[in-house]
Amino acid sequence: MRKVSRLSRFNIASLALGLAFLYLPILILVIYSFNDSRLVTVWGGWSLRWYREFFSDRAMIEAAWMSLRVAVSSATIATLLGTLAAVALSRGARFRGRTLFSGMLYAPLVMPEVITGLSLLLLFVALNAERGFWTVTFAHTTLTMCFVAVVVQSRLGSLDRSLEEAAMDLGCNPVRAFVAVTLPLIAPAIVAGWMLAFTLSLDDLVIASFTTGPGSATLPIRIYSEVRLGVKPEINAICTLVIALIAVVIVIASLASKLSSSQGESAAPL
Amino acid sequence: MTDELPRTDAAADAAGDVRPAAGQPLLRIEGVAKTFGSFRAVDGVSLDIKAGEFFALLGPSGCGKTTLLRMLAGFEAPDEGRILLGGKDIAQALPHERPINMMFQSYALFPHLSVRDNIAFGLKRAGMARADIATRVSEMVALVKLEGLEKRKPDQLSGGQRQRVALARALARRPQLLLLDEPLAALDKKLRESTQGELMELQRRLGMTFIIVTHDQEEAMTMASRIGVMKAGRLDQVASPRELYEAPRSRWIAEFVGDINLFDAEFKLRDGHRLVIGTGGAGTLVVAEPREAVGETRFSVAIRPEKVKLSRRGPVSEAGRETAINRLDGVIADICYLGGTTTYKVKLDTGGMLQASVANSARLDVDAYSLNQNVVAWFTPDDCVLLPS
Amino acid sequence: MSARRIFARPARFAAIAPYVWMVLFFLVPFAFVLKISLSQTAIAQPPYEPVFDLTAGWGALKAAFAALSLDNFKLLGSDEIYVFAYLRSLTVAVTATALLLLIGYPIAYGMARLPKRWQAVAMVLVIVPFWTSFLIRIYAWINILQHDGLLNQILLALHLVGQPVVWLSTDSAMYIGIVYSYLPFMILPLYATLAKMELALEEAASDLGAPPWQVFWLVTFPLSLPGVGAGVLLCFIPIVGEFVIPDLLAGSNSLMIGQTLWLEFFTNKDWPVASAAAIVLLVVLLVPLLLYERLQKRQLEQGR
């Protein structure tokens, strides 16, 4: 038998330390969100006090609601546009301005957020658009559709092209071949793209700060202004709730994609 | 597509009726060429294929055989030439408009569909009735012996089973022509051999026309009734397996198909129906006059290793025939035991090296030769093939 | 016409909607940034002049063009604050990227050497923190690093320090925050190349007599360079423009360019200078950005 792995003690140690480094701070945050003490650093026993505090904080609740609406709508638009872009780039014929198009799609992935935010704000000001829900949604869509495009494009790239050819060989015209074969196969990537867009939008502080207007702060904007004033136990509770929400989204989405790819792994393979 | 006449399988044969007129080939390829950028992948190929044939396109990788096949399926359109199916030019038709189906090298089974749905895929596109689809699918499942696996997904099947699903899927529409792109390349040797037999049996039973693309000359020889050998975008020779092996048209084909001894040769004199030639490594040989004159004075002479006989003293000389047999003295330089046969390399006294393949017809090796043993290698003039250099 | 093209003709039209969107929300805004960076600050709404008003006629438009100037860029070049901000951004980005490589490489290497089944698990474990909010992760560190936070409590309990260490508002806190936030971006491309590398290559090297450190330096590391390049670019570029982490974790006596831009924009309401700062930042990042775009494309196209 072939030797499968060659794990040294060094490998294991660096892995363990790395994962601890990634997870401990979040774990500590979650634990302290259940701390009864007002002083963040003193353990005063388990309590849901700060969650109650959060649910009675109108401004926070409004910000959270705003963030959720922005995240859902921008992720949905971004998924649609990003998928179209990915299909055009990996399956489409060459067209005028294709290089510019792919450049525009890759650049926002690494562009400093301050620049993206500033430039979008200047556009909205020039268009005299009222800043609020829609401006933030459009700004987030612009950023996140690029991530969706990359995720879907890499799935399309790894797909055996002869599957589409087989569909055409068996009587599908190109559009039907795409709907009957390609779309179901890239569905998990589309779902993953939506999730990514959703969490990126929920997470964003900088672009939202630039593009939102007075009176419509998103959750990160509110958290940020609170955090600048110092640590508050309520923030721990909010952060824990956000983490829980994201965890639920991930679990649901991965279950959904498991189901759609059917009983596959669970049934006995030959 | 219009179906004017009600046929037994009218709904199923989605792609219309293209039965060739009597005496007409089913498929006629006329001067077809295809260029990718500056690379001429297919360079003027013409070929007729009759209904019911099992035709093999054989050639090394990059010779254009797959491109030719893809043009038949409709995935590429030829830059030049015509492709006539039953007399109708289909060169520019889209894949889904052709009564031709293909079995892909990767099988291209839809991973999100079950075996049943994979096989039914093309039938649904043809607008066949539900009940008919069910009947046809179970027919196909039985045909390729996949009963009980209908609900499995492709990733729950073995390589051999996947190959059968791909075959069933391509056959389900009862195409006029089935294209097979390296259909056995992904199978191991044992399975490949048994599948070869099954494919031939199936083709005979269904009376369908198969075109198979392969780089494996043994596979082509075993299965096909006719073989077209491709090289650098051109068809070098189209012939039956036997003709290809025994009467190759070029030195390249002789070397590509099977093992061969080749010597550069020069014409010396004519003796009735025999030619006397001088060779580089094997001295003077007497060969049969070729059917088609080899135009030049310089050419090659080819002898298959199994035509070369070895003995300790040489053949018993018979008066009158003695001159007709080529006798070469040499010494065994290398022995390669292959089970059914043993290949000996004989270092000839005239300088060349000659391969002889001897059947191991007895279990005990009393007759076997040993290294450095002096032997006489001999073969008749009719065993020699003259080839242009 | 090839199969790809049969498919490609309709597929091409899928580009229309996203193309229009990106031109409107990505390309056009840059024209505005460029234009405003050449304008002057004004106490007005919007807070800059000249304002192009297409209804005012050709003469007014010409005057508006004439009023554009490079003054803001001159200011950026001559004022120490801005020059220092750019230099600090670059220094922080280089240092942090080096730290990330140093910390991320062993982790990625460890992952790549796990049995296949565990590799997938480790990969999920590395990605999951990336899904939790950026801001939350920084906030988590504020919890730990504050004056009477967990870190100081532990250090005091172990008698490693006599009195609480000041962590917050220092560069160390900022580097911890950056490394923590960007670690997955470094690990994943490294892991991707290391996992693809054949184990037999390392075995061949040691079979040919190379001791472990030479196996690493002469075989493993050179072959992982594409991953190193991707990881370095993926971290370096956004760190240069980073705002949140230095703002929350580092002291306020020296600012990075992202912070300066934010300050000019939100506090000083000087939109033209902020725009000019953005343009300069973009120019600084142009080379790595183009490199990254190239890399991305090549990786995607290799998948075909």
Amino acid at B220: A
What is the pLDDT, as a whole number, of residue C43?
Answer: 63
pLDDT value at B369 more than 80 = yes
Sort out which chain B residues have CB atoms less than 8 A from C7's CB and list them: none
User: In the structure, what pLDDT confidence band is assigned to residue B126 with cuts at 50, 70 and 90?
Assistant: confident
pLDDT value at B343 more than 90 = yes
ipTM value, please give it. Answer: 0.84
Residue C50 forms part of a structural domain: no
Interface of A with C in 39-68 (CB under 8 A): 39-41
Sort out which chain C residues have CB atoms less than 8 A from B181's CB and list them: none
Sort out which chain B residues have CB atoms less than 8 A from C6's CB and list them: 75, 94-95
Which chains reach chain B with 3 or more Cβ–Cβ distances below 8 angstroms? A, C
User: In the structure, what pLDDT confidence band is assigned to residue C155 with cuts at 50, 70 and 90?
Assistant: confident
Task: State mean pLDDT over A242-248.
Answer: 86
**Alpha carbon distances (Å) from A76 to A73, A116, A208:** 5, 20, 18
C235/chain A closest Cα distance in angstroms: 9
Task: State mean pLDDT over A172-186.
Answer: 90
Q: pLDDT tens digits for B88-117?
A: 999 888 888 889 999 999 999 998 899 999
Residue A192: HSE in the Cβ half-sphere, 13 Å Cα cutoff: 18
Domains B27-246 and B259-388 share a fold: no
Determine contact, residues B299/B378, Cβ cutoff 8 Å.
Answer: no
A229 interfacial to chain C (CB closer than 8 Å): no
Domain ranges of chain A: 57-261
Is pLDDT larger for residue A257 or for residue A262? A257
Residue C190 forms part of a structural domain: yes
**Residue from A22, A109, A156, A170 to probe the interface with C (highest C Cβ count within 10 Å):** A22
Neighbours of A183 (CB within 10 A): 14
Domain count, chain C: 1
Total CB pairs under 8 A between chain A and C: 290
Q: pLDDT tens digits for B143-158?
A: 999 999 999 999 999 9
pTM for the model stands at: 0.80
User: In the structure, what pLDDT confidence band is assigned to residue B118 with cuts at 50, 70 and 90?
Assistant: very high
Instruction: Say whether A26 and C134 touch across the interface (CB within 8 A).
Output: no
3-state secondary structure of B286: strand
Distance, in Å, from the CA atom of B35 to the CA atom of B274, rounded to the nearest integer, reads: 46
What is the pLDDT, as a whole number, of residue A134?
Answer: 94
A227 interfacial to chain C (CB closer than 8 Å): yes
Q: Cα(first)–Cα(last) distance of chain B, in Å?
A: 51
C31/chain A closest Cα distance in angstroms: 9
Residue C65 forms part of a structural domain: no
Residue whose C-alpha is closest to residue A256's, from A182, A187, A193, A200: A187
Task: State mean pLDDT over A24-39.
Answer: 84
**B167-180 in b/e burial notation, b at 16+ Cβ within 10 A?**
bbbbbbbbbbbbbb
Q: Give just the sign of the alpha carbon dihedral B111, B115, B118, B124.
A: negative
Structure tokens at B177: 């022509």
Instruction: Say whether A163 and B110 touch across the interface (CB within 8 A).
Output: yes
Sort out which chain C residues have CB atoms less than 8 A from B76's CB and list them: 1-3
Determine contact, residues B369/B332, Cβ cutoff 8 Å.
Answer: yes
Tokens 């084909």 belong to residue: B253
CATH class of B259-388: mainly beta
Amino acid at B129: A
Interface of A with C in 7-36 (CB under 8 A): 7-8, 10-12, 14-15, 17-19, 21-23, 25-26, 28-29, 32
User: In the structure, what pLDDT confidence band is assigned to residue C300 with cuts at 50, 70 and 90?
Assistant: low
Is it true that the peptide bond before C50 is cis, omega within 30 degrees of 0? Answer: yes
Instruction: Say whether C1 and B76 touch across the interface (CB within 8 A).
Output: yes
The two beta strands, B261-271 and B284-288, are unpaired
Instruction: Say whether A106 and C274 touch across the interface (CB within 8 A).
Output: no
What CATH number labels B27-246?
3.40.50.300
- E strands in B115-199: 177-181
Is it true that the peptide bond before C29 is cis, omega within 30 degrees of 0? Answer: no
User: In the structure, what pLDDT confidence band is assigned to residue B233 with cuts at 50, 70 and 90?
Assistant: very high
Sort out which chain C residues have CB atoms less than 8 A from A228's CB and list them: 248
The residue segments making up the domain with residue C202 are 70-301
Residue whose C-alpha is closest to residue B260's, from B334, B356, B189: B356
B interface toward A at CB cutoff 8 Å? 14-15, 73-75, 94-96, 100-102, 104-106, 108-112, 121-122, 125-126, 152-153, 155-158, 161, 169-170, 173
Interface of A with C in 75-94 (CB under 8 A): 80-82, 84-85, 87-93
Instruction: Say whether A118 and C33 touch across the interface (CB within 8 A).
Output: yes
CATH number of residue C239's parent domain? 1.10.3720.10
The CATH architecture that domain A57-261 belongs to is Orthogonal Bundle (1.10)
Q: What is the dihedral of CA A120, A123, A129, A135, to 10 degrees?
A: -10
Q: What are the residues facing A25 on neighbouring strands?
A: none
C82 interfacial to chain A (CB closer than 8 Å): no
Domain ranges of chain B: 27-246, 259-388
Total CB pairs under 8 A between chain A and B: 78
